[in-house]
Amino acid sequence: MSTTTTQPGGGTPAGNAPASPGKTGATELVSWKAGIGLSLLAILGTMLFGFMSNSKSAGFGIAEAANEAASSVAALVTFVLALLLSVGLGYLWFVRRRSGLTSGSGTASGSGTVPGWLPPSTVAAVVVLGLAALGVARVSKITLPSAAIGWIAAVILLGLAGYTVYLTQTKRAAPRWVGGTFAAVFLIGFMVWIVAGGNGDEPSISLAGLIAGSVTLAVPLVFGSLSGVLCERVGVVNIAIEGQLLLGAFSAAVVATVTHNVYAGLVAAAVAGTLVSLVLAVVSIKYLVNQIIVGVVLNVLISGLTSFLFSTLLTADPDGLNKPGRLPPVDIPFLSDIPIIGPILFHQSLVGYLMYIAVIVVYLGLFHTKWGLRVRAVGEHPQAADTVGINVNRTRFWNVLMGGAIAGIGGSFFTLVSVDAFSKDMSGGRGYIALAALIFGRWNPIGAFLAALLFGFADNLQSVITIIGSPVPSQFMAMLPYALTVFAVAGLVGRSRPPAASGIPYVKG
């Protein structure tokens, strides 16, 4: 089901991209998927937030500052900087968009000549501005009436869905801000509805604690999804993320215990993940064995191997082999004092800070360096990359090894941060969740990071709603990220396409 418009140049349909104003020519499809998907979610939101709301209010507690004086200064400085950034980025966004539309290069989606980083940066600055304002005002708790917020959210959702359907009917694609606004309103309505359903006259949760727990639970998922990004961007499907996480956790525990040094355990975890990737690379790239089968076999092999070693060695001598200790949390001066944001983002262990660094480095490397251009060329069209002198299989080999090292560091989180001992299959299938985050994030490091945070948020929310006595089954929260991933793959929340050569062996001809 689609609507057709025309564009110059002749060629294949361009997905959801709208026609340039004032030009005619080739055929272009404007998909109905977004309109249908948002309409279904809007109807669901109306039923839940509106008709199924109650008369209670939902409370969201804000974390109290450890140092009031330092927190006040940090909040004020953050507020001023966020205000300047919001105004500056917003003005730049407006000027770029207007310039693009004026020159005829803009589109109905409002992208024009706007750089891809500008919209999300502006939104992030506005969010930080709002959180800093709460800190300046010393707000300790936010209380929202369930029924009123539910119906307001329902009306906005229905309006945005209707607007998307209208644009599709008139042969135009929906702007990006529609999807972002829809997601934010749906999340607010959902949170108010789910918390208001708890026990007591005014059930409440700690918002800062919920987000902080979500970030913590997302750490191994982020490392795993980044490993998948590095591998699939060169055309290798890395199903072995689960095994890399698990062997990384095992190696970190044993080496840190034997050496009495948690940092040695961290290095050992990276080496262990690299060894798993070495097997994957040799078997699938050199000997052309099906990558999916190799990954599954490695996961089963490592699960059995670590379980055997745990039962025979670690259980027999836990003090000598399975007492690694923990990486302590480290506060970054000034940043950790920022209200709400500081305790969440800047009170992390070394693994947590390595997560931030890894996301930034992988993103910049893939999209802003010559190396990244070669990597993406290998993943999209290895034959063309080979003709310009790129060694395809060597590039794939090294990327897979790097991905394994990153996943191994993620595995160390389980034994050096989360708990201080190894146990059987303690990764708990998070390697497969990381694959889902990779798909939902559209094979982009930033997208995978945000998707992993969503999975961590859903995981943490399961525990929270059980504690407050909400009638919403925790299993519903457990399945929600996977349902969103299915929507992403189906194209209901935007196009999700893997690298063209992903999973296809390359034989130099």
pLDDT at position 64 is 65
Alpha-carbon gap, residue 136 to 340, rounded angstroms: 11
Question: Which two structure tokens, joined as six digits, stand for 239?
Answer: 């199903």
Quickly state the pLDDT bin for 458 (edges 50, 70, 90). confident
Quick check: 11 pLDDT over 80?
Answer: no
pLDDT at position 12 is 39
Quick check: 7 pLDDT over 60?
Answer: no
Alpha-carbon gap, residue 125 to 132, rounded angstroms: 10
Quick check: 204 pLDDT over 90?
Answer: no
- Residue 353's alpha-carbon distances to 71, 132, 313, 410, in angstroms, are 21, 22, 32, 12
- Residue 20's alpha-carbon distances to 12, 170, 391, in angstroms, are 16, 14, 39
Question: Which two structure tokens, joined as six digits, stand for 92?
Answer: 């730049």
What value does the mean pLDDT take over residues 253-277? 96
Q: What is the pTM of this model?
A: 0.86
Residue pair 100/118 in contact (Cβ under 8 Å)? The answer is: no
Eight-state DSSP code of residue 58: E
Quickly state the pLDDT bin for 18 (edges 50, 70, 90). very low
Alpha-carbon gap, residue 384 to 400, rounded angstroms: 21
Can you tell me which residue has the tokens 């078997």?
283
Which of the two residues, 395 and 94, has the higher pLDDT score? 395
**Residue in 131, 33, 149 with CA at minimum distance from that of residue 82:** 131
pLDDT at position 121 is 85
Which of the two residues, 36 and 471, has the higher pLDDT score? 36
Quickly state the pLDDT bin for 9 (edges 50, 70, 90). very low
Quickly state the pLDDT bin for 494 (edges 50, 70, 90). low
Residue pair 237/384 in contact (Cβ under 8 Å)? The answer is: no
**Residue in 274, 223, 294 with CA at minimum distance from that of residue 503:** 294
Average pLDDT value for the chain? 85
Judge residue 15's burial from the number of C-beta atoms within 10 Å of its C-beta, 0-12 exposed, 13-18 middle, 19 or more buried: middle
Most confident of 50-54, 137-141, 239-243, 439-443: 239-243
Which of the two residues, 503 and 222, has the higher pLDDT score? 222
What value does the mean pLDDT take over residues 329-343? 86
Rounded to 5 degrees, φ, ψ at 62 are: -105, 140
What value does the mean pLDDT take over residues 52-56? 87
Q: Which tens digit of pLDDT belongs to each residue from 95-136? A: 888 876 665 555 444 455 778 778 888 888 998 898 888 888
pLDDT at position 172 is 86
Judge residue 55's burial from the number of C-beta atoms within 10 Å of its C-beta, 0-12 exposed, 13-18 middle, 19 or more buried: exposed
Judge residue 124's burial from the number of C-beta atoms within 10 Å of its C-beta, 0-12 exposed, 13-18 middle, 19 or more buried: middle
**Residue in 202, 237, 231, 271 with CA at minimum distance from that of residue 409:** 271
Q: Which tens digit of pLDDT belongs to each residue from 130-163? A: 888 888 888 888 899 999 999 999 999 999 999 9
**Helix crossing, 207-232 with 241-259: angle to 10°?**
110
In this structure, of 6-10, 215-219, 238-242, 271-275, the range with the lowest mean pLDDT score is: 6-10
Q: Which tens digit of pLDDT belongs to each residue from 343-402? A: 888 889 999 999 999 999 999 999 999 999 999 999 999 999 999 999 999 999 999 999
CB 153: neighbour CB atoms within 10 A?
26
Question: Which two structure tokens, joined as six digits, stand for 46?
Answer: 């109306």
Eight-state DSSP code of residue 492: B
Which of the two residues, 494 and 120, has the higher pLDDT score? 120
Percentage of residues in the chain having pLDDT higher than 70: 88
Question: Which two structure tokens, joined as six digits, stand for 360?
Answer: 């930034």
H/E stretch holding 186 reads: helix 176-196
What value does the mean pLDDT take over residues 483-497? 64
Which of the two residues, 485 and 218, has the higher pLDDT score? 218
Alpha-carbon gap, residue 191 to 194, rounded angstroms: 5
pLDDT at position 495 is 59
Q: Which tens digit of pLDDT belongs to each residue from 409-418? A: 999 999 999 9
> Which parts of 49-67 fold into alpha helices (H)?
none
Three-state SS letters, 287-338: CCCCHHHHHHHHHHHHHHHHHHHHHHHHCCCHHHHCCCCCCCCEECCCHHHC
What are the strands of the beta sheet with 57-61, ordered from one edge? 141-145, 57-61, 204-206
Q: Give the contacts of 426 (CB within 8 A, at least 6 positions apart).
A: 246, 249, 414, 415, 419
| Half-sphere exposure at residue 97, Cβ-oriented, CA atoms within 13 angstroms | 16
Q: Give the contacts of 455 (CB within 8 A, at least 6 positions apart).
A: 218, 221, 433, 436, 437, 481
Beta pairing, strands 57-61 & 204-206: parallel
Quickly state the pLDDT bin for 6 (edges 50, 70, 90). very low
Alpha-carbon gap, residue 100 to 93, rounded angstroms: 11
Alpha-carbon gap, residue 330 to 352, rounded angstroms: 10
Percentage of residues in the chain having pLDDT higher than 90: 49
Rounded to 5 degrees, φ, ψ at 310 are: -65, -45
